[in-house]
Amino acid sequence: NAGVMQNPRHLVRRRGQEARLRCSPMKGHSHVYWYRQLPEEGLKFMVYLQKENIIDESGMPKERFSAEFPKEGPSILRIQQVVRGDSAAYFCASSPLRDGVNSPLHFGNGTRLTVT
């Protein structure tokens, strides 16, 4: 399966713990996008990365959230000191082009984070 791979599918964390979400883009794609979806809401853009660069992080909360896409390995979305409001589905998508114009995003199956 050459699709976007996310893991884990489900993640349960207690308040104050750290959550690490992983995303491997489709083969041949070098650009990764993270989106968050709260229950009964639409997808909200968080961050757009290419290898070793953050291109646009305008949707990232100012504190506790960080993202990286190293030269080797998957992209990581890290949430420190999680709170109940962080409970959501986090989707990763990838595209082959720098700006995604004329290139649809392909989404992974998501990680469903539950903070207890």
Partner 1 sequence: QKEVEQNSGPLSVPEGAIASLNCTYSDRGSQSFFWYRQYSGKSPELIMFIYSNGDKEDGRFTAQLNKASQYVSLLIRDSQPSDSATYLCAVNGAAGNKLTFGGGTRVLVKP
Among residues 33, 36, 67, 94, which is the contact residue for partner 1, using CB under 8 A? Answer: 33
Would you say 74 or 100 has its CB closer to partner 1? 100
Among residues 20, 22, 64, 106, which is the contact residue for partner 1, using CB under 8 A? Answer: 106
Q: What is the DSSP letter of 7?
A: E
CA dist 30 and 19 (Å) reads 24
**Binding range to partner 1, per CB under 8 A, among 19-27, 62-70, 73-81, 92-100:** 92-100
Strand runs (DSSP E) across the chain, as ranges? 5-7, 10-13, 19-24, 31-37, 43-50, 53-56, 65-68, 75-79, 88-95, 106-107, 111-115
Give yes or no for residue 54 binding partner 1 (CB under 8 A).
no
Give yes or no for residue 110 binding partner 1 (CB under 8 A).
yes
Give yes or no for residue 1 binding partner 1 (CB under 8 A).
no
Would you say 17 or 54 has its CB closer to partner 1? 54
**Binding range to partner 1, per CB under 8 A, among 17-25, 53-61, 62-70, 73-81:** 53-61
Amino acid letter for position 27: K
Inter-CA distances, 108 with 17, 33, 64, 69, 88, Å = 24, 10, 23, 16, 15
